Amino acid sequence: MEINLFYLVPVLALLYSVYYYVTKDSQYFHDKPIPSMATQPLLGSSGRLLLKKAAFHEWVIEIYNKYPLVKVFGMHDMTAPVFVVRDPELIKRVGVKDFDYFVNHRPVFGNTDNVSSDALFGRTLLALRDQKWRDMRATLSPAFTGSKMRQMFDLVGECCAEMVKFYKDEVRSKGGPQEHEMKDVFTRYANDVIATCAFGIKVDSLRNAENEFYMNGKKMMMLQRPIVAVKLICFRLVPKLMGWLGLDLFDTEQRDYFVEIIRDTVRTRDQRGIVRPDMVNLLMQARRGALKHQKEAKEDEEMKGFATVEESEVGRAHISKGIEMSETEMVAQCLIFFLAGFDTTSTCLTFLAHELTVNRDVQDKLYEEIRETKESLGGGPLTYDAVQKMQYMDMVVSEALRMWAPAPLTDRVCVRDYVVDDGEHLRFTIDKGTCVYIPIAGLHHDPQYFPNPKKFEPERFSPENRDKINPSTYLPFGIGPRNCIGSRFALMEVKAIIYYMLMEFTFEKTPNTQIPLRVAKGFAGMRSEKGVFVELRPRSQ
């Protein structure tokens, strides 16, 4: 009996500790004057998403619509309490006006101080926090101006031309137009663009389908793998233990592969004095403090796309000398450009291709603008300035980003107690360390801001209508100083390939084209349930 009691006491103590840890914040919203969603043990309010009963995009819209008359409500993401902000004015306060209270994203690793010194994701701009993030943002921001995009555009254009040539050759060799799964098509295109623009190497992911760069990137992006899901949960629940174990979100094999590419590239360029208009060169300049933020040219400001985000004073801050950027940090920045280009850009293109396929009137109107643009260029290659002047192209891309935002939700962490006071009847405190969600997909599908939101309607973003859009309700690249630094690059990449492809092909429906398109369930990013199938039919036919 004594022996059993000897073992029973610590077991009971352990079970109580686990129970306390899981439930300690379950009553968090009970003294707040806002509604909150029901919770389940461990799953919190996210059970439908975590158990793959809803797509991430649909789930965000669902929770947004749950309390249509409130400005903010509460929920639990697993064990953590989260404020979901619906009101555009409050979103503007959190994201812009009172940014100093909400500087950081919710850390994947719990706290970057717990990340091992060689962990890659924790060193990316996305994961950095506080002053480290401010310094890195100010250092990298000059690399993403319109003038830098113009210098890089030829590299993007080469990838577009190669891709179109490949599919034209395929039509000839196979005797007619072929059906393609567009996520695969655009992932390979995005891979080649990022390889040349961010890593300074040339690959051809269409003719060499299993090239090393593409395969390593694909493995890195398989975030739905069980091992990655386990890591994410462990980083969320026991970040200190994961940091102590020196674990990273990505496998060592992929991390080492990309580290070696950057190391060799930087070494070769230093030794031989090679200068190439790509991200590696810009990072090398940034590390030396030779990259300074300059005022945008007037034409770049006037021609930028509607979805392009503004750089804040944080990004424009002057860094007297380059920050001490290790090889790991350089690779980390290239990596986050890769992840964004590999997945979010290809996702945008995939859903855009679907909408152009099922909305033939939009496709035809866009083709006319493309044809007119080519004539204005005298048949020469597409230029960055020509892309920026394509008004209907910008309207179409802006609408695709509204309907199918690649990032359905963004977050901020409150770094010190913040009092919400709307001047009417709502007053409460968001406590230090608590997370805030901004439900982008919910805002984009709210008929109050975008009437008939399920209809693909580029005219919403015409010059006559765009001034009617509240900027805090259209957030495809986030909001405030912590918005997406690469919005210009992403839009350039998307518009360029659509120009080249529609110049040569029409997008046609096939028996495998899913209408209406459904998004895959679970927390696996924006991807279609059964693929996006389109026939690329040469215009000569």
Binding-site residues for heme = 484
State the amino acid at position 122 in one-letter form.
Answer: G
**How many contiguous H segments (helices) and E segments (strands) does the chain have?**
21, 9
Q: Which residues contribute to the annotated binding site?
A: 484
Peptide bond into 516 cis (omega under 30): yes
Beta-bridge partner residues of 508 = 535
- Farthest-apart Cα atoms in the chain, separation: 94
CA torsion sign, 73 to 453 to 497 to 149?
negative
161: left (phi over 0), alpha (psi -120 to 50) or beta: alpha
CA torsion sign, 232 to 238 to 239 to 244?
negative
Peptide bond into 381 cis (omega under 30): no
- Please give the Cα distance from 94 to 434 (Å, whole number): 13
CA torsion sign, 256 to 257 to 258 to 260?
positive
Chain-centroid distance of CA 312 in Å reads 19
Are 453 and 444 in contact, with CB atoms under 8 Å apart?
yes
Sheet containing 533-538, strands listed edge to edge, beginning at the edge strand earlier in sequence: 178-181, 533-538, 505-508
- The upper half-sphere exposure of residue 296, i.e. CA atoms within 13 Å in the direction of its Cβ, equals 18
End-to-end CA distance of the chain: 87
CA torsion sign, 106 to 109 to 110 to 113?
negative
Owner of token pair 């993403």: 144
Q: Cα angle at 260 between 205 and 489, to 5 degrees?
A: 50
Are 368 and 539 in contact, with CB atoms under 8 Å apart?
no
Secondary element (H or E) of residue 288: helix 279-288
